[in-house]
Structure formats: C-alpha cells, structure tokens
Structure 1
C-alpha cells in the first residue's frame, strides 16, 4: 500500500521567502526532460528514470496547487517519442495507469481536474482507458487543471488546424477574411485555454522540441540543469520567483 503524501498547505513548508499572492502565472507549461540521464548517472535502466519521474510530477502538482496556478501543462509523450525502443515505449504507455492508480484519490481530494492535449485516439487502448477514467472522474472539479500533452506534436497540431480551417472555409462555416489569431487558436488542441505564461524545461537543454510552438510566442522561458526526477517544490518555486521579477511587454515598451 502506498503512503499518501498530502498537498502542502503551509507557505513556510515550501519556501519561506516565496509570496504566493503576487504575480503568479495562470498557466505553466513544462518540458519534463532528463529521466534517461538521471537513470544512466546511477547505472540504472532508462525506465527507472521514467518511474522516478512520476514522483516529480506530483511534487510539481502540489507546488502549483499551493501557488494557485490555474493550468499546468506537462509534456508527457511527444509524437517523436514513438522512435524510441519499443520496450521503453511500452513502459511509458503504462505509466499513466500507474500514476493515476496511486495519485487519483489525492487529486480528487484537492479538486484537480485532469485533461489531455494531443492525438489521444492513437494511444494504446489500455492507456486511453486509464486516462479517460481519470478525466471522467475529475471532470466536475474546478481547481488546478492538470493538462497532459500525450502523443503531442505542435507541427502536427498546426497542420491539422490548417486542414480543418480549409474544410470549414469550403463549407462556408468561416470566411477567409474573418480568420485571425483568435479564430486560428480555436482550432488548436488548447482551444479554451490561455497561452502559457511560463515555460519550464529541466535537464539543461534549451529548445522547445516541437512543444506548443504557437502558444509559447510570448511566454517567459526558464531553464534549469535539474534533471526531471529531481524536480521538487523548491525548484518549481524558484521558477515562479524568477517569473515574478520579469516584466512582460508583448513587443511593447
């Protein structure tokens, strides 16, 4: 039986000099990178890093919930990840069920809503079943939105949006002259969500890796050398503190 770890309630328990009431990003997106390197540094198989990375997900969910972040989008599996060895892919496809089996009661208790973006229908049936159950179970929750990017690729997303717009133009559902950024955004997986205010990437890499290319146009970026399995509340709050000190101008002065 797994021991349940409660959400952090006390500001001091997270970081004594961190103000959760000032300039908190509504939407934080994270590229969770470094599971394989974490395992290799310890002489372990790559899947050990992925397994440890599940705990880091909950570390960040608790911290985001405490800071009153509204949306947390996690890059869990990209369209390019299908190129990895089959045993690793098979393990990754089992992780959602394992994660939800352990943590869904805690997520429910704390009013967290689960959703996904990406080509969900192309995932294995057992993965779809586990995630769909969690989505249905949490659909009425109105707290933190925990948004998993599963089988997600931004270029594919944009191409699908263009094709759908073309179809709608042909069917006279939308006029070419009426298409603007807001209308285009309605055709993306993230329709209904605000664009991320802050992007975090772990492991020291500084690239987007085909993640939310349209949506991150004016986001603040924060990179850390910390490998994803070592990601915790303290590191997450360092990113929020750095964000609080930035001035977003969106191309203005």
Structure 2
C-alpha cells in the first residue's frame, strides 16, 4: 500500500504517518516545511519507504507539479489522506479578517480539491483507492465567531459526499472524519501564536490527541473490502457538541 498524507509535518498528519508506518505502508509525506518532513522521515527510520513532497496545498500549480514529479514507482497511490487545513481567528463575521478568510477557504476547501484532482485520475484508471477527508465537528455544527471556518469544513463534508457519489462506481472508497477538540497546534495557529489563550481551549478536560484521530483513520482504511466507513464524528469523552464541553 502507498499512502499520500497532506499536512504530514505536524499533528494529525504526523500521527497518521506513524500509524501507517506500523502497518508497513509506503508513505508520501507532504507539507510546507521540508525540515519537519525530514525530521518525520528520520523518526520513522527504516520501518517503511518514504518520499517527501514540499508544497502548499493552496497553490494549484505547485500541487500539480509536485505530484506529477513522483517517480514511476510512487505514482500508484492507494490511499489519500486530505489532512492539511487551518483555522485563523475567532471573531464575529462582521469583524472577520479577509486574509484569515482566504487562508481558511483556500487551505481547507481548495486544498482538498487541488490534491484530490491530482490523485483521483490514477485511482479511477486503476479502479481502486481510498480517499480520507478530514473535516470537523465544526462542519456539522456551526458556532458563533467561527462562521467561515465552519463553512469551510461544511464544504469538506459536502465534497466527501459528492466524491463518494462520483467515485464509488470506480471502486474508490471515500471516508469523512470529523474530529472534535484535538490538542494539536490548531489553536496556536488560530490565535496567532498566543499559546496561553490556546491552552485554555483544552483546559479542564482530556481532549483528543492526534493519535486518536490516526487510529480512526486506520480503522477506516483497514475495513474489509466490502465495507465503506462513510462518515465518523469523534469527540472527547467530555465533549457533547461543538461548543459543549464539560470541564472540571
């Protein structure tokens, strides 16, 4: 099995690479930070074969060029994990920052489209494959001060459904995974590096960890051939809804 993971340089992408390595999958590790990809490759040691691609999913030309540059031995991608994404800012929509909006729409929506566009034709030609899209509980439940982020993740939900409708006839499975509160760099990015504010998001309860989401991805991609895990919402035990968390 060969798996391509976007956003592999941190968080859920990194944890997914580690989980796939334990399964013996060959890994195409994609991200914007070549140094972090090199660190991940080194941490995996000689467990599995890896190949790194450095690009920003928001750049359609860079995405297409990077994936087209894969050597012949790496062209047959069995699993695509569309993990790269971001949240920027937390404010009422009338006070939103246009640059934040662009970053979220471009990364969370167009990024999924650009990478999938580069990978799907090969899957269709081979009549097999599995695409895993990372949406969010925010794609299912819109919350105050997060309208654009929620909209971007709702778009991922719609894309997952649409992909499944179009690709199932070609032997391609599509899984949508919607995590709740996961303790990664997510909130640090959202709050522009304010680690104190970010830490408050996870205070008073045990949040999900990146490895929990990686385990869920493994569950989906290792299901029997006749089974498609179409959609999973995974929450911390203390979380009942997008913004309902019971803290001690």
Same fold (TM > 0.5): no
Structure with more relative contact order (C-alpha pairs < 8 Å, separation 6 or more): 1
Query: How does the TM-score come out when normalised to structure 1?
Result: 0.35
Query: How does the TM-score come out when normalised to structure 2?
Result: 0.36
Structure number with greater Rg is 1
